[in-house]
Amino acid sequence: MSARESWLWWGALALAVFWFVGAYNRMMRLRSAALQAYSTLDGALTRQLEFVLAHASQREAEAAASRSVVSVQAAAAQLQILLAATRPRPLEPARIAALSTALHALLGAWQGLYPNEGISFDADGTLSRPASLEAQKDRPDASEPPPIAWPEPSAAAEIARRQFNQAVMQYNAAIGQLPAQLVAWIMQLRRAACLT
C-alpha cells in the first residue's frame, strides 16, 4: 500500500469516527432533553395528584366514604406507585404505558367524583374549554394526543406533557434516521414512548 492510499484510509477512518461521535452526541442531547422534560412532567403530575388527594379527603370528610371517593384514592395510590417506578427510567415504553393507564384511571375516577369539573388546555397553556373525556375523542388533528381534562385548574401538567411528548418524538426521530440507526444499535439506544 502506498503512502497516499494509507493517508486516504486514515482520513476515511477519522471521518467515520468524527461522524460516529457527532451522531452519538446529538442522540444523547435529545435523550437528555427528554429526561429533563420528564422531570418537569413528574412535578406537574405530582401537583395534580396532591390536588386530587386533598379534594378526595375533603369529600370523604363531608360524607361517609362513597365508592367514588375510594376509587379516586385507589387510583391515586396506583399513580403514586407508578410515578415512583417510572422516575429511574422514564424513557422505557412499558413504564410510560403503565403510567398513562394509571393516569387515565385517576382521571376517570375523578370524573366520577366531580363530573364536568375537568379543565382542558391547549398546548400553549391557554384554556381550551371545560371538557369531558368523551368530548375529546373526535379531534381533527390526530398527530398529537388530545388534551387531557385535568382536575387542577392549571395548565402546567398539559404543557409539561406536550413538551415531554415533543422531546420524545425528536429523540425517536433521531435514532430512527438511517445512518444514525447504526449508532443507536451499537450504543443500545431504544425508542421511547409518549404519554398519551
pLDDT of residue 178: 82
Residues ≥6 apart with Cβ < 8 Å to 146: 136, 137, 139
Angle among Cα 182, 174, 137 to the nearest 5 degrees reads: 130
Per-residue pLDDT band for 63 (boundaries 50, 70, 90) equals: low
Tally Cβ neighbours within 10 Å of residue 43: 13
Beta-bridged to residue 121, according to DSSP, are: 127
Query: pLDDT tens across 117-156, in order?
Result: 888 888 777 777 554 444 445 554 556 778 888 998 889 9
User: Distance between CA atoms of 96 and 83, rounded to whole angstroms?
Assistant: 9
Please state the pTM of the whole predicted model.
0.84
